[in-house]
Structure 1
Amino acid sequence: MFSDKMNKVYNQLNETDLLILSVILRNFEKIPTIGVEELARMCNTSRTSVLRISKKLEFSGYGELRNYIKWEVDKASSNGFASSITPVETETECTISELKNNKQFEEVVEKIISAKRIFIYGTGQAQRNCANEIQRLFMQAGKYMFVIKATAEFQLLSEELNEDDLVFVISLSGEIERFKDALHLLKMKKTAIVSITSFGNNLLAAEADYRLYAVTLPIQMKNNKLHNSFVSFFAIAEFLFRSYLERTELI
């Protein structure tokens, strides 16, 4: 599958590659009819960049990539599967690949085990839903975490935490303007910070002691709104929990 090819070379991809792939996945069924120049315009990038990512995916060129996608679309159609599931599969598989190759993942699990208190701050509603899910998962194992409800509460708590505590911050964009003072105070106090953000360079990840990345491929809807899936964020929550169970011999 196309998602398998992405997963295989994921660690070689840069932000331009991911942008091109997100456009391909959003227009998966149309790609067989889209030429290389048109795709480059859709991605606001160069023809050379499109050809480069084609090579990274082990195709001889864009033509072979396009034919491969046509074959996959035709196969999905004949089997009755909606090709719209491909971006979700790709997000999940690439996030799993990122976690497997992220040496900090096991360190985060160890910090969860050893931390005296654990707090989770989500920067938006979907992020708070993810924070609540992490809290729910670990509660099953008797590991209690506190979900921070608002930025003002985060600021107040940062004044009370210390080096024995652990703080997760979940953000799609990684922008920290609203709570950067709280982050800087935590760093001064040597409180460990774990960021969970979408893949790519961002300010929150730069400030964090440990960085976990969720691969997300935004979808542009016809009403000009951008849809971001949080499936991969919840996948990280599940992997953290299961790794914790294994490490503490609860399974």
Structure 2
Amino acid sequence: MRLESLVNQNYDNLNENDKIIIKQILICQREYRNFSCEKIANECNVSRATLLRLCRKIGLDSFSDLKYLLKNNQLEFVNNDNNFHDVCENYRLLMNELQKISFQDICKIIYDAETIYIYGTGNEQKSLAQEIKRIFLSVGKCVIDLFDIGEIEFMRESFQKSDLFIIISLSGETKAGIEIAKFINNHIHTISLTRLDNNTIATLCEYNLYVETQKLDTLQAISYEVVGAFYALLDLLHMNYIEYRRRKE
């Protein structure tokens, strides 16, 4: 379990002060992973007792559990001027992380769903939505991709409790995505697919899937975000779903 996942799952248990503390820990986790409980508490300007209460609020039994997550929470990406072999090594690290994901509960939700609805917040996300549609049409599921809030408002009357809505957002913080996640909340099962981070859309969804992404420098004055890990995640989800259905049938 990743620290960001625990925070998103228990976000409703946190007060505003807790959110400030956890945000600082997430930002500084590489620095904090070798700190003691007292030192992290001092860095966050809180007491040791407050930090321990926060650990319990996000489902940890002790500070030792937090320390373990901090030490194992970061992929140590190699970055050497976009060297091809380094990019390949980073993909290997990403695949190792993806293999740790348990798809059992999500496969059950997909299996039970009469209809799967999908929404992507941007162009790349809509491409991912098309890939999800292709994957699950191939195994006999009814899949409908929705373009915007207007289409979702129109289709909401057709939602059944067993249906599934998948929302895809790299950042998990787009205004339209948050609006849609709030709009469909409690009407249907929901899965978010986002970059691994503490983000609003993930906290609003019932289930979460995450991947790490990598940014590369380009010839222009902008960076390019490698999103291939999302497609690898979808392949693993597809294979796990096929195995799940074989066991059920």
Normalising by structure 1, we get a TM-score of 0.62
Residues 158/176 of structure 1: CA separation in 2 closer, same or farther (3 Å cut): farther
Q: 1:175 to 1:91 in 2, by over 3 A?
A: farther
Which of 142, 145, 154 is matched with 1:144 structurally?
142
Say whether the 8 Å CA contact 1:92–1:235 is kept in structure 2. no
Tell me the equivalent position of 1:131. Answer: 129
1:232 aligns with 2:229: yes
Change in 2 beyond 3 A, CA 1:89/1:17: farther
After superposition, give the CA deviation of every residue in 1:37-75 in whole Å (9 maximum; x if it has no partner).
xxxxxxxxxxxxxxxxxxx59xxxxxxx9xxx89xx8xx
SS for the counterpart of 2:161 is coil
Instruction: State the partner residue of 1:174.
Output: 172
Match of 2:115 in 1: 117
1:78 is aligned to: none
Q: Quick one: which amino acid aligns to residue 97 of structure 1? A: E
Distance in 2 between residues matched to 1:96 and 1:212, nearest whole Å: 15
Specify every segment of 5 or more residues in structure 1 that has no aligned partner in the other structure, as ranges: 1-9, 20-55, 58-64, 74-81
Moved more, 238-247 or 222-231: 222-231
Contact 1:92 1:215 in 2 (8 A): no
- Residue in structure 2 matched with residue 194 of structure 1 by the alignment: 191
1:207–1:140 distance in 2 versus 1, CA, 3 Å? same
Take 1:222 and 1:18, find their aligned partners in 2: how far apart are those partners? 29
CA displacement at 1:177 relative to structure 2: 1.7
CA RMSD of aligned residues (A): 3.3
Question: In the alignment, what sits opposite 2:240?
Answer: 243
Q: Equivalences for 1:30-179 in 2 at 5 Å?
A: 83-91=83-91, 93-94=93-94, 96-98=96-98, 100=100, 102-103=101-102, 105-179=103-177
- Superposed CA deviations along residues 51-110 of structure 1, whole A, max 9, x for unmatched, are xxxxx59xxxxxxx9xxx89xx8xxxxxxxx9324335424633552452x44x221111
Specify the SS of the correspondent of 1:163: coil
Query: Does the residue aligned with 1:174 lie in a helix, a strand or coil?
Result: coil
Residue 35 of structure 2 aligns with which residue?
none
Shift of 1:220: 3.0
Bigger Rg, which one? 1
TM-aligned CA deviation for residue 144 of structure 1:
2.8
Q: Distance in 1 between matches of 2:87 and 2:28?
A: 17
The letter for the 2-side match of 1:196 is L
- Paired positions, count: 184
Distance across 2 between alignment mates of 1:193 and 1:88: 33
In the aligned structure 1, how far is the partner of 2:3 from the partner of 2:184? 33
CA contact (8 A) 1:155 1:179 kept: no
